[in-house]
A and B are shown apart, each in its own frame.
Chain A
Amino acid sequence: MTDYGVVLFYTTSAAIRSEKLLLKGGYNVKMIPTPRELSSDCGIALRFDWSEQEPVRKSLETASVEIQSIHRM
């Protein structure tokens, strides 16, 4: 089973921005409903492969997308 990470956001627009950005960067990401065990202001979250954690984090940082937190699933 793949090891996933989840990015949580404050806003839907930040989530959509991140999805666009990371898809363009060739990362395996997918919009998912925010897992209920992780509380967030935003109903959607972005799932990514945990193995790509470093570059994903860096891409979001470089583009200065505001994220709430990153979790390992």
Chain B
Amino acid sequence: MGDGVDAGQIATLIEGGTGSQSELEAQPEFLPDKFESGTPNLSGIAGLHAGLSWVMERGIGAIRRHEEELTQALLEGLADIPGITVYGPRNPKKSVAIVSFTAQGKRVSELGLRLDEEYEVLTRVGLHCAPTAHKTIGSFPEGTVRLAPGVVTTLKDISYTIQAIREIVHD
């Protein structure tokens, strides 16, 4: 908090357990104690630091390029399977690494379950708590199967997933 900030003007979110002025019922008004109640989530903070360091080491640009490459491969692979509808932009540069699809004649819940059980590919199916988004893309109320490649996903994983979807759809 900057020196020019008047701490008296800012309300506390939580109070108690500052370790100072223990004899008083009231929250201390001085800094930093006023805003440092209780034990901070140290393991959470350490975890966040480790996570961010890992990202900085790899480089956000490199992570993004990797995800674009995977998304492109996923889009191309899915386009090759008859009966598959892909929703959203076909240009990986215009979206995050998420690909939503449905397959003609297959319920999304069945697709998701079979990808999980038979191929160990974890997806999220249905409306993704976003009914309006699904109304916009025209997939309401059935929803879609959502694939989200990430930084540790490989091109090999993508071709394996596409093959798995191909097999399930042909069943």
Which A residues are within 8 Å of any B CB, using their own CB?
Answer: 30, 32-37, 43
B107 touches A43 (CB 8 A): no
Q: Residues 83-110 of chain B: 1 if any A CB is under 8 Å from the residue's CB, otherwise 0?
A: 0000000000000000000000001111
Assembled-state Cα–Cα distance A43/B126 (Å): 7
Could you write out 6 A-B pairs with CB less than 8 Å apart? Answer: A33-B125, A34-B109, A34-B126, A36-B109, A36-B126, A37-B107
Chain B stretch 92-144: residues in CB contact (< 8 A) with chain A: 107-110, 112-113, 116-117, 125-127, 129, 142-143
15 additional A-B pairs beyond A32-B113, A36-B142, A43-B129, beta carbons within 8 Å, are A30-B117, A32-B116, A33-B108, A33-B109, A33-B112, A33-B113, A33-B125, A33-B126, A34-B126, A35-B107, A36-B107, A36-B108, A36-B143, A37-B107, A43-B125
Total A-B contacts with CB atoms under 8 angstroms apart: 27
B residues in contact with A36, CB < 8 Å: 107-110, 126, 142-143
Contact-residue bracket for chain B: 10 to 19
B residues in contact with A34, CB < 8 Å: 109, 126
| A19 shortest CB reach to chain B, Å | 14
| A43 shortest CB reach to chain B, Å | 5
Chain A, interface SS category: loop
Assembled-state Cα–Cα distance A43/B143 (Å): 11
| B128 shortest CB reach to chain A, Å | 8
Residue from the list B108, B109, B129, B143 in contact with A32, Cβ < 8 A: B109
| B134 shortest CB reach to chain A, Å | 13
| A64 shortest CB reach to chain B, Å | 27
Q: Which 6 A/B pairs are nearest by Cβ-Cβ distance?
A: A33-B109, A33-B125, A36-B107, A33-B112, A36-B109, A35-B109
Q: Which residue from chain A places its CB closest to the CB of B145 in the assembled complex?
A: A33
A residues in contact with B110, CB < 8 Å: 35-36
Assembled-state Cα–Cα distance A58/B107 (Å): 31
Q: Which residue from chain B places its CB closest to the CB of A37 in the assembled complex?
A: B107
Chain B stretch 58-99: residues in CB contact (< 8 A) with chain A: none
| B25 shortest CB reach to chain A, Å | 35
| B165 shortest CB reach to chain A, Å | 16
Q: Which residue from chain A places its CB closest to the CB of B117 in the assembled complex?
A: A30
| B144 shortest CB reach to chain A, Å | 11
